[in-house]
Amino acid sequence: MTQPVLSVRDLRVEFVTRRGILKAIDGISFDIGKGEVLGVVGESGAGKSVTGSAVIGLIDPPGRIAGGEILLSGMRIDNLPPEEMRRVRGKRIGMIFQDPLTSLNPLYRVSEQLVETIRTHTNLSASAARKRAIDLLAEVGIPAPERRIDSYPHEFSGGMRQRVVIALALCAEPELIIADEPTTALDVSVQAQIIALLKKLGREHGTAIMLVTHDMGVIAETADRVAVMYAGRIAEIGPVRDVVQNPLHPYAKGLMGAIPSLESDTDRLVQIPGSMPRLSAIPPGCPFNPRCPYVFDRCRVERPEPIQHSEHRVACHLYDQSSVRSEAVA
Amino acid sequence: MTERSYVEVKDLRRVFDVSKPWLNRVLEGGEKQYLKAVDGVSFSIAKGETFALVGESGSGKSTVARMVVGLLPPTDGEVVIDGVSMSSKAAFAERQRLRRRIQMIFQDPYASLNPRWQVDRIVAEPIRAFRLIEGEKEITARVGELLSLVGLHPADGKKYPHEFSGGQRQRIAIARALASNAEFIVCDEPTSALDVSVQAQILNLMRDLQDRLGLTYLFISHNLAVVRHMASRIGVMYLGRIVEISNGRELFAQPKHPYTRMLLDAVPDVGMTGRQRIPVRGEIPNPINPPTGCTFNPRCPFANERCRAEIPPLLQGVACHAVHEGRLAIGAAA
């Protein structure tokens, strides 16, 4: 098997607070291959954005990476000194944030921001960098890029700004792009355009993309594989079609049923009772056990480890062969 | 229609003055500028029905909601609720009585509850304002009843809003809306700030309450799937106008207006993994300077000379020349 672009092994992220240590990420592992889009879904507080920040080395104190490894094309990056990490960031890992207005500097023209980024990471001349910037804007679908390049960020609409941010992330042709809720601030019709663009980039450049979002629809459209996160852990990970249409983990099942559909009529949506536990009060055993309809004794005491189940990996005792209850939810 | 509609919105318009300040206009030149946020919107809602307005940002749906509840005076047009016009000066007393029966639920449950008030005071506010119940003990009992109705515990009344999650806060907002025995509730993106599993809880609650109390909803959302789930009739808005209005099932099975088709096609749906979509063109134009004729014409693949010159009227539930002329076959979703 070829080496994955990103490999995360048993990653743990903690936040030290006055009231104790909060485990935001508690032992997650996944790989992203070349040209692959891994979707990371979950509700607020599940730890999806923290995972993205950890990979790119942007966890600020009081947060810290407490354990595990992050490998970028086989090179360990979680323990790099800040100066070296700064060179990896931007050059080898690009980042797209949710709000395109805050990720662009409002005081500089788009051309200056793009050229600066390109010249930081490559040794192109100023005029060659400008030419490349125009090419990038054309590639992300900005009409008349030679004219638009000298505009300020506020002169662009939300969708166009997000395209500029994507162009910025592409400047140094990174191996990996982390897109944190890239379409959440956008209207549906614009969202569809951005999704199409991201898919095209993965296909044409072989860029690995980690797509963090709470929108299952976006994942279903874009991702090749999907990881469902709950309370800092991966509940289920597998090929997108399988996870969406045939989720195994009770939380993933509930999550899929809770989404209103455009195609079918349902009288009531599936309701998961309760809400995600606070980080300071994650229950022992399986973190989902107080909300789970299939809970049994073992779930309350023993933490489920991910189990391979056909193409999925699922962290649930129900699928453990040694567990008696496994036939109960077929 | 034999059944008298409960809410009737007639040719509602709202213009905002977005000119530069007077001195700047004098020194730098420039005309006064107006933004037509809502430009002739009409619809009616039957009692016990859920009518939804759906559209992208800037389409004017929230402005309509605010005018319907009376938070914003319309520039022109009229809102009639249960036979009483909200804008007539004469029926003041009657309007007062009506106000009590209209309530609103807002998008952001973090901003719409006073952080310094305990929950029972928040929920009791409409009861006190309209003097519905006399006596503290009776008010407390009623507040407890309302909190149980929305799935909270009566003892939660002693807490402050920050002690609740987003979904629970939205429940408090619903309890407050019901406190004045409201019959008509305007919901402006009530679940947009919530996670899907919590959204499902709130949508289920809203439907249960509608069944139990016979509520009428005006539901504003940008999320087509949520709208489909909630509404019996839907109006699609684009740049201040309703471009298509139809009952829910029909709209999703056979969208007529090219914008509706485009919008439906753009929604990423969980069911259609790997499906090829028709690429969406362009973005919503600047409402200060909208295109002439049909405002959708620059993005419409079926636009012709007439579309660029003449505003299409809303006929048989759709405002589109191409559909009216039969140029555009009404088929299944593209």
pLDDT of A319 higher than 80? yes
Q: What is the mean pLDDT of residues A273-296?
A: 87
| Nearest CA-CA partner of A38 in A198, A245, A190, A185 | A198
**A268 contact residues in B (CB cutoff 8 A):** 204, 207
Cβ–Cβ of A188/B222 closer than 8 Å?
Answer: yes
Structure tokens at A267: 């009288």
B228 touches A at CB < 8 Å: yes
Question: Is residue B30 a contact partner of residue B20, using CB atoms and an 8 Å limit?
Answer: yes
The model carries a pTM of 0.83
Q: What is the mean pLDDT of residues A269-281?
A: 83
What CA–CA distance (Å, rounded) separates A90 from B122? 49
Cβ–Cβ of A271/B279 closer than 8 Å?
Answer: no
Distance, in angstroms, between A84 CA and closest chain B CA?
A: 37
Interface of B with A in 37-56 (CB under 8 A): 56
Contacts of A76 (CB under 8 A, 6+ apart): A69, A70
Residue type, A314: V
Cβ–Cβ of A262/B228 closer than 8 Å?
Answer: yes
Give the pLDDT of residue B271: 66
pLDDT in tens, A238-268: 999 889 888 999 999 998 888 887 776 677 8
Hey, is B123 helix, strand or coil? helix
| Nearest CA-CA partner of A196 in B279, B271, B56, B282 | B279
pLDDT of A237 higher than 90? yes
| Pairing state between β A93-96 and A176-180 | parallel
A305 touches B at CB < 8 Å: no
Cβ–Cβ of B268/A266 closer than 8 Å?
Answer: no
Cβ–Cβ of A190/B203 closer than 8 Å?
Answer: no
Question: Is residue A252 a contact partner of residue A234, using CB atoms and an 8 Å limit?
Answer: no
Give the pLDDT of residue A330: 42
Domain parsing of chain A, residue ranges: 6-92+172-260+269-327
Angle at B232 between CA B231 and CA B234, to 5 degrees: 70
Distance, in angstroms, between A73 CA and closest chain B CA?
A: 28
Give the pLDDT of residue A143: 83
Contacts of A279 (CB under 8 A, 6+ apart): A15, A22, A23, A24, A45, A231, A232
> What are the Cα distances from residue B246, in Å, to A134, A251, A285, B250?
45, 36, 50, 7
Residue of B nearest to A218 (CA): B268
What CA–CA distance (Å, rounded) separates A168 from B242? 38
Least confident of A173-182, A226-235, A276-285, B142-151: A276-285
What CA–CA distance (Å, rounded) separates A301 from B131? 53
pLDDT of A29 higher than 90? yes
**Domain A6-92+172-260+269-327: assigned CATH number:** 3.40.50.300
pLDDT of A229 higher than 50? yes
Cβ–Cβ of B228/A271 closer than 8 Å?
Answer: no
The pLDDT profile of chain B, 334 residues, written as one tens digit per residue, is 445 789 999 999 999 888 888 888 888 877 888 888 899 999 999 999 999 999 888 888 989 999 999 888 899 998 998 888 877 766 777 777 888 889 999 988 888 999 999 999 999 999 998 888 888 999 999 999 999 999 999 999 999 999 888 889 999 999 999 999 999 999 999 988 888 888 999 999 999 999 999 999 999 998 888 998 899 999 999 999 999 999 888 888 888 999 998 888 888 777 655 555 666 677 778 778 888 899 899 888 888 899 999 999 998 889 999 999 888 776 544 4
Distance, in angstroms, between A212 CA and closest chain B CA?
A: 14
Determine whether domain B7-101+183-254 maps to CATH 3.40.50.300: yes
Choose from B196, B230, B283 for mutation: most chain A CBs within 10 A. Answer: B196
pLDDT band, very low/low/confident/very high, at A196 (cuts 50, 70, 90):
confident
**A193 contact residues in B (CB cutoff 8 A):** 279-280
Residue of B nearest to A275 (CA): B198
